Amino acid sequence: MTVLVHSRVPMTVSNTPWLRRAALIGAVAIALVATAAPSHAARSADLSPAERFASQAGNQAVATARAGGTEAQLTNRFRTLLRRYSNVSSVASFSLGKYARELPAGRRAEFNRLVEQFTARLFAAYAGSFAGHQIEVLRSNPRTVNDIVVDSRIVFADNRNPSPVKWLVSKRRGGYTVYDVNVQGVWLSLYIRSKFVSILKQNNGDFDALFAFLRQ
C-alpha cells in the first residue's frame, strides 16, 4: 500500500499498487453473492462447521467474480456478501488502530458505510484476479476458543497453480463470521489498518482526510 502525503488522496483505485494487492487479498476474503459448485471438501461430512462456513463464503466470492458484470453490479453483489459473511462494524473499528476511540460518535455509521463501500469496490475492480473454479478447504486449527484459522486454496480452471488462502473464522452468538483472510502471507485487516492509520498520522488525526480517501 502506498503512503498518502497530507490530505491528498488518489482519485482511482486502478493506479494504486497497494489497492491492487489488497483487492487480491480481500477479494477472496471478507466479503463475498452468487452460487458456486461445492468442492469435494465441501461435500465431505468430515468438514467442521467453521470449515463449511469458510468454504461457502469463499466459493460464493469466487463465483461472484467469475460471473462478471459491470463494476456497479459487482460492487453491489460484493457489498451484499460483506453484510452476509462479515461484521463490517468490527472490521471498520479495527482498521483505525489507536485512533478508534477518537472517531466522533456521530460519524461512526458513515465510516462503517464508507469502509463497506470501499472494500466492495476493491473486490469489484479486481474480480478478475480471483475468478477461479472453486475454493478447496484443506484443514483448520483453533487460534482461540472462538477463533479458527481455516486453510484453503483457490483452484483455477486453467493451468494456473492453486492459490493458498487462510481464513480467520470467528464463532459468535451461535454463528460464524469471516473476520480476516490471508493471501500471500498478508492478513487483509492488518494491511488495511496500516494504511488508514498512516493517513490519520500524516494528517494529525484529522478524520476528514481519511473520509476523503474512502469517498474516492
Supply the pLDDT for residue 109. 96
Tell me the C-alpha distance between 66 and 60, whole Å: 10
Look at 203 and 186; give whichever has higher pLDDT: 203
- Is residue 115 within 8 A of residue 129, CB to CB? The reply is no
CA distance 21 to 115: 17
Indicate the pLDDT class of residue 33, thresholds 50, 70 and 90: very low
Max Cα–Cα distance, the chain, nearest Å: 53
Is the pLDDT assigned to residue 19 strictly greater than 90?
Answer: no
**Residue 13: is its pLDDT beyond 60?**
no
User: pLDDT digits over 105-141, tens only?
Assistant: 999 999 999 999 988 887 788 787 777 788 999 999 9
95-110 residues labelled b (16+ CB within 10 A) or e (exposed) = bbeebeeebeeeeeee
- Structural domains in the chain? 17-215 (3.10.450.710)
Q: Are 162 and 156 in contact (CB under 8 A)?
A: yes
The pLDDT of residue 85 is: 92
